[in-house]
Amino acid sequence: MKQVELIDVSKSYDKQTNVLNEIHLSINRGEFFVLVGPSGCGKSTLLRMIAGLEEITGGVLKLNGEIANHLPPKNRNLSMVFQNYALYPHLTVEQNILFGLDVKKVNKKEQQKRLTETAEMIGLSELLKRKPKELSGGQRQRVALARSVVSEAPLCLMDEPLSNLDAKLRAHMRVEIRSLQRKLGLTMIYVTHDQVEAMTMGDRIMVLNDGKVQQIGQPITLYNEPANTFVASFIGSPKMNMGKAELFVEKRQIIIENKLKFHLSPTDLMNIPSDKKMTVGIRAEHIYPASEHNATHYLEVANVEQLGNETMIVFEELNGQLWNAKWPGQWMIHPGDKVPVHISVQNFCFFHAETGQLIQPAYKEQEQEVVAN
């Protein structure tokens, strides 16, 4: 069942320029839905419009099938977790958690029951008498989360709740939030600019840029079949390697940035688009290490990052673009080295040279998907 529905929703502050353009979206009950995009793309504004904290300029918002454009926030039956926690410094953890229930005049016995259950679930039982200044960042985030959970609202909105935490704590809290959402069966709308959070947490992701929807879909679909060059470069870490390509059918060749030449087999010619000029993209893990016997190219190394379990290699510029490779294990490679690599056109995504729209995803990926099914 659709719990949240946006029909051609727009937002403008000056009645001339839209910061959000005709957003069309449905979110199902119990879904973990992520809004992701660069700073200033409109994702937090969209969340605040759902919450009732921002006015909707155009279009229709429906909650549980009912039009909610002018419904006050208190009547929308939702909770919200903010980026800055928004805790009252003079109140204890217990008082902060129960504040919303006090406002709603929930009886004291019910308040204590919910508090006990929530504090135990989120690991705050020992901290209830402390004040926010006595807590770490992760503990404060748990309090903000507990305040949302204790309200028992079926819809929870989160606006970049982990951005103030360090990397290790963020990874831990991602797991905690996702587990809690599944356990309680909440519908969660989660805003982030971090594509790793989006990929690891969301059932579905919506990518926003300049107030416009770029793509909506499952994380793996956005990774394998990005709708355009923006999604391709935004989703995935490191971003997809991109380059301008020219196809020469008669010579059975494709040349990227006038530097990388690929000879095409009859199968390749059948499976790649026939446009003469395109933009191609390839993921870092599809630039493979090679020996002299199976190398397709030799690339000069610009930088090496040793991560222990894998090695990130940055190759010299292809007409202004650095390409990344991700190799499992530890590789003793140094800047300035020319290393043999194996690159297959089967792993290329093809995009329209002018519009940037996807023409065709990597056809090797399509074949693997058919076998898996």
- Write the pLDDT tens digit of every residue in 271-286: 888 888 999 999 999 9
Q: Does domain 2-229 have CATH number 3.40.50.300?
A: yes
Question: What average pLDDT does the segment 316-336 reach?
Answer: 91
| 3-class SS of residue 142 | helix
Model pLDDT for residues 154-171, shown as the tens digit of each residue: 999 999 988 877 888 888
**Residue 363 in this model has a pLDDT that exceeds 60:** yes
**Can you spell out the DSSP letters for 54-114?**
S---EEEEEETTEE-TT--GGGS-EEEE-TT----TTS-HHHHHHHHHHHTT--HHHHHHH
- Of all residues in the chain, the percent with pLDDT exceeding 70 is 97
Report the predicted TM-score, pTM, of the whole model to 2 decimal places.
0.88
For 33-57, what is each residue's pLDDT tens digit?
Answer: 999 999 889 999 999 999 999 999 9
CATH 3.40.50.300, the chain: domain bounds: 2-229
- The predicted-structure confidence for 89-121, as pLDDT tens digits, reads as follows 999 999 999 998 888 888 999 999 999 988 988
